[in-house]
């Protein structure tokens, strides 16, 4: 689901999958797979090149910057983890924009 306003993280889940559009600063979360969240954002007008996946762990509110959608050899991201610290920071900023985390 696309998150449109600041909200509390659902702590009933061990972790929440999120996909962030780093250009539009929008976010989709709570999908079964990251690709499902990416598809929702694309249907809402996002471009795939701007979408990056992450997980938020509800126990300690940590963010893990890993997802299969992050594998992008053409963009020098050959891992499921976001390699570029600038992109990681942008993803984290959008997550914190929409989720109340300590």
Number of structural domains found in the chain: 1
| Average pLDDT rounded to a whole number, residues 54-59 | 93
Residue 13 is predicted with a pLDDT of 79
Q: Which residues contact 96 (CB under 8 A, 6 or more apart)?
A: none
**3-class secondary-structure state, position 3:** strand
Q: How do residues 59-95 score in pLDDT, each as one tens digit?
A: 888 999 999 999 999 999 999 999 999 999 999 999 9
| Degrees, nearest 5: CA angle 23-35-61 | 70
Structural domain range at position 82:
2-100
Residue with the bigger pLDDT between 63 and 58: it is: 63
pTM: 0.93
Residue 69 is predicted with a pLDDT of 97
Pairing of strands 62-64, 51-57: antiparallel
Question: How many CA atoms does the CB half-sphere of 24 hold within 13 Å?
Answer: 20
Q: Which of 93, 94, 19, 15 has its CA nearest to residue 52? A: 19
């Amino acid at each position: 689901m696309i998150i449109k306003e600041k909200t509390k993280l659902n702590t009933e889940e061990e972790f929440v999958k999120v996909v962030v559009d780093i250009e539009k600063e929008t976010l989709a979360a709570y999908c079964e797979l990251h690709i499902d969240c990416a598809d929702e954002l694309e249907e809402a007008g996002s471009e795939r090149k701007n979408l990056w996946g992450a997980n938020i762990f509800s126990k300690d509110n940590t963010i893990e910057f890993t997802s299969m959608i992050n594998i992008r050899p053409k963009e020098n991201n050959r891992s499921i983890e976001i390699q570029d610290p600038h992109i990681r920071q942008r993803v984290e900023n959008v997550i914190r924009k929409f989720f109340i985390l300590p």
